[in-house]
Amino acid sequence: MKQVGWLIVLSLFLFTGCSKMNIEKDHHQVPDFTERHSVADTITVEFSGIDLMMEEMSVEEKIGQLLIVGMSGKTFNGEIDRLIRQNKVGGIILLGKNISTPSGIVQLLNDSKKANEGNDIQLLLSVDEEGGRVSRIPAGMKKLPAASLIGQKNKESFAYETGIYLAELLHSFGYNMNFAPVLDVNSNPQNPVIGDRSFSSDPYKVASLGMSVMKGMTDNGIISVVKHFPGHGDTHIDSHKALPIIQKSLQELKQTELVPFQKAIDENVDMIMVAHILFPELDKEYPSSLSKKIITDLLRNEMHYNGVVITDDLTMGAIVNEYTVAEAAIQSFLAGSDLLLIAGDYQNQVDTFDTLVAAVESGIISMERLDESVKRILELKNRYELDDKVIEEIDVKKLNQKYDELMS
């Protein structure tokens, strides 16, 4: 195991209120990587309340907010209850292993909200709902086609409508965040993990259609997480199993892989997921999700992204083949990530929490660095109307009818 001597922390508190984003029309030209674009350039919000809350928060509360955790089983259990009530995690993710019936998902999310009632900050309730083969919609409900089919249709208006449909679909269960759309460019036909999850092999088409789907969701209250930065489209290894390596220079990445992500940054994307891929031309030692050269130097400093960065799942083979989950979490946080996604298991989640607390207390992670990420997360939550409203029931027939109208 590689030894990594670091930790990460995060913060607490949620204001409600959704701020609309100002989006410019797509232009098919090489992005300008020198001109500064950021969320702060176009959104002005009063954050004094967040600053005051952060002063009252403990280190443990801040660290809890850094974690998005998964769970075992299809029903709410004691482990996830403790993570929410005691560790005050920032959010949860439901994966395929958690999906049962429509009413079962609603109950699971309702139970999570109830567990969080004593906390001051609402949970991020997230899911991977891309459509196609990456879908968490239960049997009996219609799911969107793969992104490649949206790409073949090649209409921004249709892509936007799919984003609206996704928002209504996810709200009906009680979700408020979606790990979509995929902004990877399908440039490698041998890619085992992306393929038809991508809109196109054309980076500008990926950018325009991806932004349309994103805006359809965000305009209707769903936080969008675009993925997988700096680009997973040219790999031939599945990062769930092992570490992919892409031998491309920064200039080559700017011409293809980075085009959709720069467009997303220019259009005030909520959150960017960083992939577990080694880019030796950028960083010979660390995969992108753990790399300061990629997250801070490239994404934040050169591409001028000031929003929330989240890791891909830190329990994937690309990471755990070389690191413990806690080691990877510390390295990723110091590299510039804000949210750490840990799908399981419970012991990994608790160990990571404890290790991060110790890292802050020992000075490995400074309070300044911790507060930087905590504030980003709270600012994001502040822009959306997250609530703990209990969902009474889900109207499957109505949603299926809306799907038919969309696809007709």
Domain count, the chain: 1
Of the candidates 26, 270, 312, 338, the residue annotated as catalytic is 312
Question: Does the pLDDT at position 33 exceed 80?
Answer: no
Question: Can 276 be counted among the known catalytic residues?
Answer: no
Residue 247's pLDDT band (boundaries 50, 70, 90)?
A: very high
DSSP 2-71: ----------------------PPP--S---SSS---HHHH-----HHHHHHHHH--HHHHHHHTEEE--
Is there a domain that residue 316 lies in?
Answer: yes
- pTM exceeding 0.85: yes
Which of 91-115 are b and which e, b meaning 16 or more Cβ less than 10 Å from the residue's Cβ? bbbbeeebbeebeebbbbbbbbbeb
Write out pLDDT tens, residues 111-170.
999 999 999 999 999 999 999 999 999 999 999 999 999 999 999 999 999 999 999 999
Is there a domain that residue 236 lies in?
Answer: yes
Is there a domain that residue 3 lies in?
Answer: no
Residue 1's pLDDT band (boundaries 50, 70, 90)?
A: very low
Is there a domain that residue 114 lies in?
Answer: yes
Specify the CATH number for the domain of residue 350: 3.20.20.300
Write out pLDDT tens, residues 277-313.
999 999 999 999 999 999 999 999 999 999 999 999 9
Q: Please give the share of the chain, as a percent, with pLDDT higher than 90.
A: 82
Determine the structural domain holding residue 372 and report its residue range: 39-407
Is there a domain that residue 254 lies in?
Answer: yes
Is there a domain that residue 302 lies in?
Answer: yes
Of the candidates 171, 238, 240, 388, the residue annotated as catalytic is 240
Look at residue 193 in the predicted model and tell me its pLDDT: 87
Question: Can 312 be counted among the known catalytic residues?
Answer: yes
* Nearest Cα residue to 306 out of 107, 39, 13: 39
Is there a domain that residue 74 lies in?
Answer: yes
Write out pLDDT tens, residues 62-99.
999 999 999 999 999 999 999 999 999 999 999 999 99
Distance between CA atoms of residues 300 and 297, nearest Å: 6
Is there a domain that residue 369 lies in?
Answer: yes
For residue 15, CA distances in Å to 45, 109, 142, 239 come to 11, 20, 34, 36
Torsion sign over Cα 393, 84, 131, 154: positive
With beta carbons less than 8 A apart as the criterion, state whether 18 and 217 touch: no
What is the number of residues in the chain? 408
